[in-house]
A and B are shown apart, each in its own frame.
Chain A
Amino acid sequence: MIRKPIHTYLAIAALVLISLGVIFLIIRDSGVETDDTMELIDNGVDDQNPIVDGIHVSTGLVEGEGLEEVVTNCTTCHSSKLIIQNRMGKEQWNATIRWMQETQGLWDLGEDQDIIVDYLTTNYPVFKKGRRAVLGDIEWYTLEGK
């Protein structure tokens, strides 16, 4: 278990405060909540969306440096399932981000881009599969005569 640096706690505290603020605004202007504010409330790391056993429960993403940035910038448009099932190196992730910016309406990530790519390559590393993998996860069962 890696000890979290102090700014992680500060970030979490800030998010809780922001969430409370958003909830206040929603209550005050009831009926004006947009999909975007809903996303923030749904996906952020806070009391409602905790990390259990190193997994961010609402997205299934692994806890690690950069999780917040990934949740905020990536899962607004697409499912975290698309992230988790892909294994790429830095160059490929950067190219993918460029493609999303050029064609899919992704915004400029600024300093977050390196943080996001580091998170992805660290927590979802590429593994070599060769030209044909061994059959894995076989569930053995007795086949009755047909």
Chain B
Amino acid sequence: MPEDYLPLAFQEPDPFKMFQKDPGMVLLNDKPWNMEAQAHLLNDKVTPNKYMFIRNNGLIPDEINVSNWVVKIDGESAEQEKSYTLQDLKSKFKNYTYQLTLECGGNGRSEFNPPAKGNQWTIGAVSCAEWTGVRLRDVLEDVGIQPDAVYIAYHGADMHLSRNPNKESISRGAPMTKALQDETLLAFAMNGEDIPLAHGFPLRLVAGGWPASVSGKWIKGISIRNKVHDGEKMGGSSYRVPCETVAPGEKVADENMCIIESMPVKSLITYPKSGAMIDLGTPLKINGHAWAGEFEVGSMEYSIDFGSTWNLCNLQRPVNRLAWQHFDGTIIFPQKGYYEVWARATDSKGNRQPMVLPGWNPKGYLNNACHRIAVKVV
């Protein structure tokens, strides 16, 4: 068997072993594979594979042959049709490495009321790994972009759940402005190694700060479109929210739905794990991460009295644009009792995380309500 041929161990019944995930991860779905982290598992500054959520729409490709892997760039607004092997990409274009926050658009869906259909993500569908690849812009410019270009679309090698070869499981994309950003990569490595199978090996589009479904996996093609891409999961209620806010449970016509672009400001307390019991007088150190889609987090606060008073945390600047930021604080509790530590981030434009659920939408996207942990002082 050639070295670069990857036979898939689908006989392996244990997805945690198959995908090298920590046993503390939570399996939401096994066809397709969907798995999320818990807050305390996300304490690393750079998320390792074992704690990275999996969100798949279709079936992982059965066979991946790296030496034959070709990416075709085409589309109405491409100057020409041009194909690149993985080696072409790696050697022809300059390589870049960025830490990029990827959050599922539906992270937090489980809290919506009335409930929203789909995988019931709690808080763990977010990661910030270090991605290495080439700039999508460099590749598109090598092909040639016509002036009427509006959107890029990705095409992956994953199979539709029905195994119908004529159906794509997901084919989304981004407007040209996002496609041409410095940090938008065609990535071939994650955390310094080959991208893990479940995360798009051997090639993934990575567009940090936007719903992670924009970051297509197992990339076989990119189309430069002269209109907003109309691929699978670009329409209906998929990754779209009402253009005008609606009452919970309200029906919304397709034409009144708008595509989600930047994700909203959000944060997670990753230490300590919820449920900590400490002695009165012992200071409690907390830390975590905050992110704000296309923007930066400007300030970070915590409250131990359900929002009556807020205290500032130390907040670090991002390593690079679109990387999550780290915060920490030290809490002295005034007396014994049950507490909740609530965390609230504010982005550089002044938008704050709400303490209650944000606006309802049919598919339960964009829940950026404050994260909180339970603490008992004894």
Contact = CB atoms under 8 A, between A and B. Distances in A.
Interface of A: 35, 77-79, 81-82, 85-89, 92, 96, 99, 103-105, 126, 128-133, 135, 138-143, 145-146
Interface on chain B toward A: helix, strand, loop, or mixed SS?
Answer: loop
A48 to B, nearest CB: 16
A132 B355 contact: yes
Interface residues of B, number: 41
Given A143-B276, A145-B282, A92 B117 contact: yes
Given A88-B117, A104-B162, A138 B274 contact: yes
A81 B27 contact: yes
A126 B248 CA distance: 14
Contacts of A138: 274-275, 374
Given A105-B164, A131-B356, A132-B355, A87 B115 contact: yes
Contacts, number: 86
Given A86-B117, A126-B114, A126-B115, A79 B29 contact: yes
B119 A129 contact: no
B285 A85 contact: no
Contacts of B17: none
Nearest to B284: A143
A143 B374 CA distance: 12
Contacts of B117: 86, 88, 92, 96
Contact of A135 (B115, B118, B374): B374
A89 B114 CA distance: 10
Contact of B357 (A35, A87, A132, A135): A132
B278 A133 contact: no
A135 B114 contact: no
Nearest to B120: A85
